[in-house]
Amino acid sequence: MPRARQERAGPASGPLARHLGQAWGTGWKKTLALCFLGIALTGPSMAASPQSPASVQSPARTDQGLKGRESGLKVPRFVSLRSREARMRVGPSLDYGIAWIYRVPGLPLEIIEEYGNWRQVRDSDGVSGWMHRALLSGKRTAMIGPWAASNVSLRAEPRSSARTLASLAARVRLAINTCDGSWCDVEVPGHDLSGFVRQTALWGVYPNETIK
């Protein structure tokens, strides 16, 4: 039987499944909490050398900044997880071992490198590895920053004095509608709840970035 673990294990312990969930609090002001659970899967270790092929090159620098050599899109950039199950590998090929298994559709990830059909991505914990581009979506999502020491207000309007609709705990996942560089119009997946959050409180969108 798989053994549940609260902490992250290394690749030598076998592939891991990462589950993120959301739970509602009670009272007139709703509080969203996020539960983190890592489950170790049975089976032999599939770890391989973490070295990427020598032919993996750095993004090209242009007048507009860095662009991926494969897509021509900005690097780094945020995307989201498309698949219900996505394997993160230690290199850009099926020949490389699995480092982690993600089972969180909509999870925001940051692309930091490209190689063929593979993208090197980084999650909010700083864990990085390679995923096939088919597992990723350009649909923008975010989460309340893991650094948040207290709950973040979801407001009815994009201003600090606006009515608070809910208090969002660190790591609560959100769907992004728009961002103006200061505030993001967001929705809470699975709940009939939407509003505005300070952009600086989010992981999954860059400071001053606009999303239309």
Q: Residue 49: its pLDDT value, please?
A: 36
Return d(Cα 15, Cα 27) in angstroms, integer.
39
Is the pLDDT higher at 11 or at 108?
A: 108
Report whether pLDDT(91) > 50. yes
Mean pLDDT of 112-118: 97
Determine the pLDDT at residue 32. 41
Reported confidence tier of residue 65, pLDDT bands at 50, 70, 90: low
Name the residue ranges covered by the structural domains of the chain.
Answer: 3-40, 64-139, 142-211
d(C-alpha 194, C-alpha 211), whole Å: 16
pLDDT at 30: 37
Per CATH, domain 142-211 is 2.30.30.40 = yes
- Mean pLDDT for the stretch of residues 115-133: 98
Q: In this structure, which CATH number among 3.40.50.2030, 2.60.120.10, 2.30.30.40, 3.90.230.10 belongs to the domain 64-139?
A: 2.30.30.40
CA atoms of 34 and 208, how far apart (whole Å): 26
Question: What pTM was estimated for this model as a whole?
Answer: 0.73
How much of the chain exceeds pLDDT 70, in percent? 69
Question: What is the rounded average pLDDT of the residues 54-67?
Answer: 49
On average, the pLDDT of the chain sits at: 78
pLDDT-based confidence at residue 168 (cuts at 50, 70, 90)? very high
The Cα 179–Cα 185 span in angstroms is: 6
pLDDT band at 11 (very low <50, low <70, confident <90, very high): very low
Indicate the residue type of 189.
P
Q: What is the amino acid identity at position 151?
A: N
> What gap in Å lies between CA 202 and CA 145, rounded to an integer?
5
Do 64-139 and 142-211 show the same overall fold?
A: yes
In terms of Cα–Cα distance, which of 102, 121, 123 is closest to 113? 121
Q: Is the dihedral of CA 54, 59, 62, 67 positive or negative?
A: positive
Q: How confident is the model at residue 89 (pLDDT cuts 50, 70, 90)?
A: very high
What is the rounded average pLDDT of the residues 180-190?
97
Measured CA angle at 97 (ends 91, 110), to 5 deg: 45
Quote the tokens at residue 187. 């929705």
68 alpha carbon, distance to own chain's centre:
19
Most confident of 15-29, 38-52, 59-73, 164-178: 164-178
List, for residues 33-47, the tens digit of each pLDDT value. Answer: 433 322 222 222 333
Q: Please tell me whether residue 78 adopts helix, strand or coil conformation.
A: strand
b/e map 107-146, b = 16+ CB within 10 Å: bbbbbbbbbeebbbbbbbeeebbbbbbebbbeebbbbbbe
**pLDDT score for 41:** 26
155 compared with 31, residue with greater pLDDT: 155
